[in-house]
Amino acid sequence: MPKLSKSFVNQIKDLTYKDKTFTDDEIKKLAIRIQGKKKSWILTYRMNGKQEKMTLGSIFERTPDDVRAEAIELIDMINKGINPKNHRNKSNNILNVSELCDLYMAEGVAHKKESTLKIDQGRITHHIKPIIGNIRLSELNTGDIERMMIKIMNGNVKSAQEQCKIRGRSRVTGGHEAANRTVQLLSAIFNFAINRELLDKNPAKFVKRPKTQAKETFLTPQDIKLLGVTLKRPSYCDKKEAINAIKLLLLTGCRKDEILSLRWDFIDFDNQCFRFPDTKTGKQNRVFGIAALSLLKEIKSKNSSPWVFPATKGNGHYVGLPKIFNRICSSKLEDSPADSGTVFYRPDITLHSLRHTFASIANLLGYNDFTIAGMLGHRIRSTTARYSHNVDSALILAANQVSEFINNLLEGGNNELFSK
């Protein structure tokens, strides 16, 4: 029998069996049960001559150390003649949604990234708890979830007010997208509760969520030319970090945080790729084009920091880009020419829109969805790519063309395709 350690759990995450159990070699009552793709921690014990099984959660949600600690406590209860399953059922009668959310954030999110957890905590704090937080799980129904959703859609929530933050204040609002995402999160929380045997069914499962349209904003070739003109204006001559970061985002199609937190040791200049130790989709190699390569070499020649974009103060990386980019997109500068046709004004554009822009230019140049996905680092690439240290030369050629096309627009050149 193996020890159900972290390394063992990682080995079995991709395995599938109709029904197979692995028992821990130290805590004999603790085991992992695989039923197809479902893999759960279980505690098996005898109480009053009857065998009992108790689910302790999914192996994707809880760490071995956390589960082993709980198992030891539960076995102590069993040795004292207390059935932990009955004790849990009694607790469920007084457990409310707010307490369940706290339990989920403490024990059910081991598989999530830090950035996702901050978003989840915000939805719990500002939407779920104020509206349905005090309702007991035993009394909760689908109607409660639907009423919560409608309130969020209408912005009619207690927390839809200014919230204090360390830096300034943030205004929390509702809307269709917020309602959709909140119900989606709540459904995941209820699934966690089902795995813990705190609920028998998911009251959010059949809630009809509002349809939302993906906001695919991007810059046209003409917009990119105007942005290039704007970045050269005297108003931004002292914003070199921001200008270079904006250009690199456009030339690579990377996410904002991937570029702002970029380190020189992540960059493979010889093979023209970023070797990210962690991204939204995990460890990844990401190609970049010749224009991006030239920009990176230029930045490196004037940079002694481990960060490509070091912070203006302290030892971290640069974080002030969103504010400057918003100013660039939303302000018609005083030093702009009188001809409005040469002024870049796109207040609807965000930094993530630059990633969409890279994809739209690649599509304009005739590249298919799989090639674009490969350049952007989307998951639909083949699973073997996760284990390969080599870089696809075809992707480099594609990235070269896309980045040079965009760079030519930024520099005010006339691309043949654009001029048609």
Cα pseudo-dihedral 22, 25, 31, 35, rounded to 10: -10
- Exposure pattern of 79-108 as b/e (b: 16+ CB <10 Å)? eeeebbbeeeeeebeebbbbbbbebbeebb
Other CB atoms within a 10 A radius of the CB of residue 280 amount to 15
Q: Is residue 204 part of a domain?
A: no
Q: Mind listing the pLDDT tens digit for each residue in 363-381?
A: 999 999 999 999 998 865 4
DSSP conformation letters of 104-127? HHHHS-TTS-HHHHHHHHHHIIII
pLDDT of residue 283: 84
110 in the same domain as 78: no
Beta pairing partners, 163: 170
137 in the same domain as 101: yes
Given 41, 61, 83, the domain boundary residue is 83
285 in the same domain as 146: no
313 in the same domain as 236: yes
415 in the same domain as 316: yes
175 in the same domain as 60: no
pLDDT of residue 158: 59
Q: Is residue 345 part of a domain?
A: yes
Q: 17: domain CATH number?
A: 3.30.160.390
Q: Is residue 208 part of a domain?
A: no
pLDDT of residue 383: 40
Q: Is residue 212 part of a domain?
A: no
223 CB contacts (<8 Å, ≥6 apart)? Answer: 344, 346
Q: Is residue 1 part of a domain?
A: no
pLDDT of residue 86: 73
122 in the same domain as 182: yes
- Mean pLDDT of each 10-residue bin along the chain, 420 residues long: 87 89 92 90 90 87 88 91 74 79 90 86 93 91 93 74 46 80 94 86 89 77 93 87 96 96 96 90 89 97 94 89 92 51 82 96 94 85 45 90 96 64
286 in the same domain as 250: yes
Task: Report the C-alpha gap between 246 and 235 in whole angstroms.
Answer: 16
397 in the same domain as 278: yes
Q: 387: domain CATH number?
A: 1.10.443.10
Size (the chain), residues: 420
Q: Is residue 328 part of a domain?
A: yes
pLDDT of residue 272: 95
Q: How far is CA 114 from CA 6, 109, 165, in A?
A: 20, 10, 18
Amino acid at position 122, single letter = G
Q: Is residue 88 part of a domain?
A: no
Residue 48: which domain range?
A: 6-83
Q: Is residue 153 part of a domain?
A: yes
Given 144, 179, 195, the domain boundary residue is 195
The C-alpha angle with vertex 237 and arms to 235 and 243, in degrees rounded to 5, equals 100
This prediction's pTM: 0.66
C-beta separation of 126 from 161 below 8 A: no
Q: 185: domain CATH number?
A: 1.10.150
414 in the same domain as 372: yes
263 in the same domain as 375: yes
293 in the same domain as 372: yes
pLDDT of residue 213: 62
Given 48, 83, 118, the domain boundary residue is 83
Q: Mind listing the pLDDT tens digit for each residue in 248-291?
A: 999 999 999 999 999 999 999 999 999 999 887 778 899 999 99
Domains in the chain: how many in total? 3
